[in-house]
Amino acid sequence: MVAWILALAAVVTAIWSAVRTDRAMRESHHAAARAELAERQFKAAEARTLALTEEIRQLAEKRIPAAATALSHRSAPVPGLREAAGIEGDAARLLTEAVQAARTAVLEERGRVDAAARSAMRGTSAKIQSLLNQSQHLLHELQHEYDDPRILQLDFRNELALRRTQATAVLCDAWPGLARQNSSLVEIVLGAQSRVAGYERIKVANHLRQERLALVARAAEPLAIALAELLANATAYSHPDTEVPVTVQQTPGRGAMILVDDAGIGMDEDALKRARALLAGPSEVLLTELGDPPQTGFAVVGRLIARYGFSCHIESSPYGGMRTMLRIPAHLLTVIDDDRTLSVLAPKPVHAGVPVAEDPEPVTTPAPAGLPGPPAGADPAGDPGPAVPAEPAPRAEEAATAGDGEQRPAGLPSRRRRSRRAASPDAPSSPRLPVEEEPVRRTPEQAGAAWSALQEGTLSGRSAPVVPGPAPVASPSASSSDDQGDDEK
């Protein structure tokens, strides 16, 4: 009996030992598994920390600077996360929000800096514009007192500086600085032409159905500023030997349109897209977005478009360069009174016939407002030819025989003839047709001397007693600066 009890106890002890050993082995195995798991987790955490550190370094060194650069250069790439799979969702979201926050902060700071710069430039432009206007009035007085052609050159350079100052003021949301009355549309085009350095290359064609079509007072000077910027672009980006045709016409919708063509270098797709965005009249254009040096032409036109209601479109020109179309809506147009005299420099509508009088006067070729032009080719024999628009001046041998024209009944013009050799008194006169001839280019000194002689003759004519006689022949340079539509300061 005792033996059985001892055997049972031994069995129980053996079983208990086996169970305990098995449990110890399982616990040891679990401990090893937990240690291995902890080690893997530690290594994973260390890898995530290293990846996050690298992402923060890239955020500070690359992503935020690239995002700031992209605000000025929209095509600049902004890098993203280096290892998106190694970054948890919250961490990736926070990093992206950091980039957006930096972008917002940069935009706000740029806005404050730009506003401060605009304010400073606006005040400075107003003072400079006032001084330039005073200089212009003084130069006009000197032109009547002295016959020095250098005064004309100073006046023109003063006009160029005034245009740049006006453009800067407009870009800074300032008033254009000049008040006008209702002004003829063609005279405004001539005034804009006189503000451009290459004015002699600009050829204006008047296709208006109404010769006295005009702009309302509040839009006259803004349109002149905008057109001057477009003309400056056309002359600056085209060859000096090419012309810049300007066409003024009315649209079927009772509005008007001014077309400016050039045969320049054109624009690529990115530049054209940028120009159209500026000409669309955006609500805000930062000065820092205009380049270095800033290209303000289209930005100035866009500001005026947004403020005064006309529109502008740019596209490729059939001349090889670019064409800008400046559209003027009907509510900005009016018709000036018949008793108001138009500038003699304004080109006549090409479709309108010129009335023929008993003493016809030749129609003169327009010249830029405010600038000297070539003297008129008046008939030395006192017998003016038929009123033909834009007829070139006769040559010396033609002028010598201009007085021998055939007599016609009253009310009809006489036709001039030309001959290369002296005609006998008994030879019958035959009519001649006007021969087109290339205009002779003159130096600035020759033009200044002609203008000075014209001024001297004008002053002496004013001081002489008035003697009744036939009406004098019109001259394209005979009008003072007050008759040129853009000089109403």
> Which residues share a beta bridge with 249?
207, 257
Look at residue 142 in the predicted model and tell me its pLDDT: 92
Look at residue 276 in the predicted model and tell me its pLDDT: 92
* Separation of alpha carbons 305 and 302, rounded Å: 5
Look at residue 439 in the predicted model and tell me its pLDDT: 53
Residue 123 three-state SS: helix
203's tokens = 């050829």
Handedness of CA 171, 176, 182, 184 (dihedral sign): negative
> Which residues share a beta bridge with 202?
244
Residue 205 three-state SS: strand
* Residue-wise pLDDT tens digits, 213-253: 999 999 999 999 999 999 999 999 999 999 999 999 998 87
Look at residue 85 in the predicted model and tell me its pLDDT: 55
Look at residues 393, 396, 398, 357 and name the one whose alpha carbon lies nearest to residue 475.
Answer: 393
User: Phi/psi of residue 430, each to 5°?
Assistant: -125, 140
| Positions in the chain whose pLDDT score sits under 50 | 352-436, 466-489
Look at residue 58 in the predicted model and tell me its pLDDT: 81
Look at residue 77 in the predicted model and tell me its pLDDT: 79
Our measurement of the distance from residue 40's CA atom to the centroid of its chain's CA atoms, rounded to an integer in Å, reads: 66
Look at residue 436 in the predicted model and tell me its pLDDT: 47
Predicted TM-score (pTM) of this structure: 0.59
Look at residue 135 in the predicted model and tell me its pLDDT: 93
